[in-house]
């Protein structure tokens, strides 16, 4: 679907979808040579997840932090969404009941129906779970500190650089992963991570390479540049880290 079709179907404006792309929250599945942003079913599912989070008043930064984690579990997220939405429903039903009693002329001076404390607590607990899993690592803390100051333009530049490097890997995936040109790309990829997110050691890089093929979400995303790109990157990274 083109971006205007997505906007019409979802109610999310084209401008908002452009912004989600710029900050790295929701990238289009493909961009045509003519510059059209195209979204596939997987992208629409991701957008639906984002809208669930927005419905529960999560900030865009919190959503990007949660959904961007390698261990993000969509089903688990939906279960938590349901739990919080039921609590929100309970609160709304209480407010409706209060309005109905008032319309009937009953002098009900209750204010407990306006209380959002429990919903806010559940939201904070959910976000805290992500921080508990990753907040203790130096890489996570460095990434949070560095990216917190990124503007939309900066995110756009970072995402474009990452996409260009993946496309460069895709263009060379018929070559031997130990070749000099491919190994130079691995070096550039490592520098890209260090310059934009956190200090990427060979150990971290090796772990990332394994994740590109072990985690289907990463594989599918990288392979949008060409089927087999993720496996090729992983093989090239493994060779680089053995040197």
Domains 1-55 and 137-243 fall in the same CATH topology: no
* 128-130-131-132 Cα dihedral, nearest 10 degrees: 90
pLDDT tens string 74-116: 787 788 778 878 887 887 888 888 888 888 877 665 666 556 5
Predicted model pTM: 0.49
In angstroms, the CA 151 to CA 146 distance is 11
Q: Of 227, 235, 133, whose CA–CA distance to 176 is shortest?
A: 235
In angstroms, the CA 61 to CA 65 distance is 6
Residue boundaries of the structural domains of the chain: 1-55, 71-134, 137-243
- In this prediction, residue 84 carries a pLDDT of 78
- Contact predicate 159/27, CB 8 Å: yes
Task: For residue 150, give every residue at least 6 positions away whose Cβ sits within 8 Å of its Cβ, in sequence order, or none.
Answer: 23, 158
1-55 fold: Multidrug-efflux Transporter Regulator; Chain: A; Domain 2 (1.10.1660)
- Contact predicate 197/146, CB 8 Å: yes
Whether residue 63 has pLDDT greater than 60 = yes
pLDDT tens string 116-158: 566 565 566 666 555 555 444 566 667 767 777 788 788 888 8
For residue 2, give the DSSP letter: B
* 18-20-26-31 Cα dihedral, nearest 10 degrees: 20
Only one residue has tokens 């984690």, namely: 69
* Mean predicted lDDT score pLDDT of the chain: 81
For residue 178, give the DSSP letter: T
pLDDT tens string 157-184: 888 898 899 999 999 999 999 999 999 9
In the chain, which ranges are E strands? 30-31, 37-38
- In this prediction, residue 110 carries a pLDDT of 60
- Contact predicate 13/30, CB 8 Å: no
Provide CATH code, domain 137-243.
Answer: 1.10.490.50
């Amino acid at each position: 679907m083109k971006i205007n079709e997505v906007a019409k179907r979802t109610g999310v404006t084209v401008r908002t979808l452009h912004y989600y792309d710029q900050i790295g929250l929701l990238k289009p599945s493909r961009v045509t040579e003519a510059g059209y942003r195209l979204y596939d079913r997987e992208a629409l599912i991701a957008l639906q997840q984002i809208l669930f989070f927005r419905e529960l008043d999560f900030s865009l930064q919190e959503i990007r932090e949660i959904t961007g984690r390698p261990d993000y579990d969509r089903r688990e997220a939906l279960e938590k969404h349901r739990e919080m939405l039921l609590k929100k429903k309970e609160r709304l039903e209480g407010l409706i009941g209060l309005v109905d009693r008032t319309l009937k002329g009953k002098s009900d001076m209750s204010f407990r129906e306006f209380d959002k404390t429990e919903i806010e607590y559940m939201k904070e607990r959910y976000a805290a779970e992500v921080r508990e899993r990753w907040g203790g690592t130096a890489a996570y803390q460095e990434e949070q500190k560095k990216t917190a100051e990124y503007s939309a333009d900066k995110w756009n530049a970072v995402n474009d650089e990452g996409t260009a490097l993946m496309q460069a890997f895709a263009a060379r995936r018929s070559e031997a992963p130990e070749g000099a040109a491919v190994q130079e790309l691995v070096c550039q990829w490592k520098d890209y991570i260090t310059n934009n997110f956190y200090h990427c050691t060979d150990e971290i890089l090796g772990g990332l390479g394994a994740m590109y093929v072990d985690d289907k979400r990463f594989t599918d995303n990288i392979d949008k540049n060409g089927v087999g790109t993720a496996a090729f990157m992983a093989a090239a990274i493994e060779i680089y880290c053995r040197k």
